[in-house]
Chain A
């Protein structure tokens, strides 16, 4: 079975952002400024588990610059069997729709993919839209917020998953191929291994361009996007103040606090 896991290199969770001349820059004084999108680690783990169970390939795929290869190397070090970078100047400025168009073409390019796995969202854009958009572009069933793959039969071409919803869980079945997005309840991502890191560093990571994917200029990047970043600016600092609630007993303090919160319409 062929599984593709789409990953994204994102700013680290502790990165410090600033806006300079209309563009966002970041650094992480305590570590690396960029990491694999944390949600994607669950997707990578699930793709590897599917490959371990059903055989075949677990292919990590990312759209981005040369630096995004770091995310692919992490996926390889964890156990993905292949990795593919999708990169072209024509892809610059893509919003989620533009990205989805390119990713769908790249997934199609792998041929015979039965499951494409995504993290539930990326921590930078935080939209969670790309999974659905890729599914629509491919014409595959989207199964979002999956917390368990209960059954997958590649020969019969069926999958049954549990989805985590706000008020509960639901179990749904679908024909393959599918695009799924996973939540953290689905697994515990493994750490890469020393052996995996060495393998990843030696691996050849091919790059697919717009030409390789038969994408013309109008169907990728800014031209294919619906979102325009008209103005990027720093958030104005928020005014805050501290008030210490005084009282002789805990009960009295709680009562005063509740009154204040009600007065401020917080509760």
Chain B
């Protein structure tokens, strides 16, 4: 057993850390406060490989292993939750299915553009006003074949990146009869006629990552835009979410690490009753617990990524990693505010923002409750 990163993985980590420290972290508070997307930093990510982490080199991607991809998202999360979420969704939720299920022509059309950063980002359209985790029964967005086209009608919700995307991977019902074989994924250019993107949602955190409701009104795309096989949309989506959960787990670890570092620094600087508060056991315990839990969460995320890159089943491991890492992150960020006292509640200090950001991680891409359901089903073979 070997817990050390390979030289190459370590070099990737050093590179992303350095990039994030100088290009992403310094503007994290500003993008949240102004609710704007950090195009300045994202514009520089293409040449590094951050916009095509698991895209094959042949299509202009970085083609890194799953562990390196997780580390990249972790480092981005350490710098800025909003930017990390957008990049995680772009890579894991949107480019991932194109890489796995796309035809050569689809890959050729979209991957070089999106991985290089010459285009904008990509996004996945799943959730609807009446469908969250119950996609099979809940999705009402319909795609009807008409000649050489699909005609799409419906409404999607909570679409990360919708307004900053060039392309959407839309889950549609292609068989009105319903059932697990009634859904399909269709590639839809974001500027297609009939798409209206609503204003950015007002959220508790992650304000630098735009989230939208999107309406599809008789949106016509060529029949060859079907991604993967007709009727396999649900399976493809669930697989995609397995991959995405490693990303959200990694992002949560990054957020926790950032809050933890702030808390340790503050505890050493801040004095109360004549000595730094780090001298008091109440603070030491919170710091020790945070360090321990972050280490455990990180190892679980890395283990799920390792399972994935070695071609093993990782659905349960990804769910466990996401469940544990996101809940750890909430606790660590909560205690980081506690250590900061009143200042922690102020927007002057970053822990307030990180706490708001990490709150989504136990919800997005499957709530903690859904993760427990996934884990239990695997254990009990339900």
Contact = CB atoms under 8 A, between A and B. Distances in A.
A158 to B, nearest CB: 31
Interface in B42-98: 44, 47-49, 53, 57, 62-64, 68
A32 B15 CA distance: 12
B266 interface: no
B49 A193 contact: yes
Interface stretch (A45-53, A194-202, A255-263): A194-202
A1 B353 CA distance: 51
Interface residues on B, range: 10 to 19
B11 A201 contact: yes
B14 interface: yes
Contacts of A194: 12, 15, 48-49, 53, 62, 64, 68
B8 A191 contact: no
A190 interface: yes
A195 B14 contact: no
B7 to A, nearest CB: 7
Contacts of A193: 47-49, 62
Dominant SS at the A interface?
A: helix
A93 to B, nearest CB: 30
B280 to A, nearest CB: 24
Interface in A181-208: 190-195, 197-198, 201
Contact of B57 (A191, A195, A201): A195
Nearest to B49: A194
Contacts, number: 36
Interface string B6-20: 011001101100110
Contact of A201 (B8, B15, B49): B8
Contacts of A73: 11
Interface in B177-235: none
Contact of A197 (B12, B18, B19, B57): B12
Contact of A191 (B7, B44, B68): B44
Contacts of A190: 47
Contacts of B18: 191
Nearest to B64: A194
Interface in A164-222: 190-195, 197-198, 201
Nearest to A197: B11
Nearest to B57: A195
Given A191-B19, A192-B15, A197 B47 contact: no
Contacts of A192: 15, 48
Given A201-B7, A201-B8, A195 B15 contact: no
A254 B324 CA distance: 56
A197 B18 CA distance: 14
A190 B48 CA distance: 9
A73 B7 CA distance: 12
A32 B13 CA distance: 12
Given A32-B14, A190-B47, A195 B7 contact: no
A125 to B, nearest CB: 24
A190 B44 CA distance: 9
Interface in B304-347: none
Q: Chain A CB within 10 Å — which of B11, B15, B53 has the most? A: B11
Contacts of A201: 7-8, 11
27 contacts: A32-B14, A77-B11, A191-B15, A191-B18, A191-B19, A191-B44, A191-B48, A192-B15, A193-B47, A193-B48, A193-B62, A194-B12, A194-B15, A194-B48, A194-B49, A194-B53, A194-B62, A194-B64, A194-B68, A195-B49, A195-B62, A195-B63, A197-B8, A197-B12, A197-B15, A198-B8, A201-B7
Interface of B: 7-8, 11-12, 14-15, 18-19, 44, 47-49, 53, 57, 62-64, 68
Given A32-B14, A192-B15, A195-B49, 11 more contacts: A73-B11, A77-B11, A191-B15, A191-B44, A191-B47, A192-B48, A193-B62, A194-B48, A195-B57, A195-B62, A201-B7
Sorted from nearest, which 10 A-B pairs have the closest CB atoms?
A: A194-B49, A194-B62, A197-B11, A193-B49, A193-B48, A191-B48, A201-B8, A191-B19, A194-B64, A193-B47
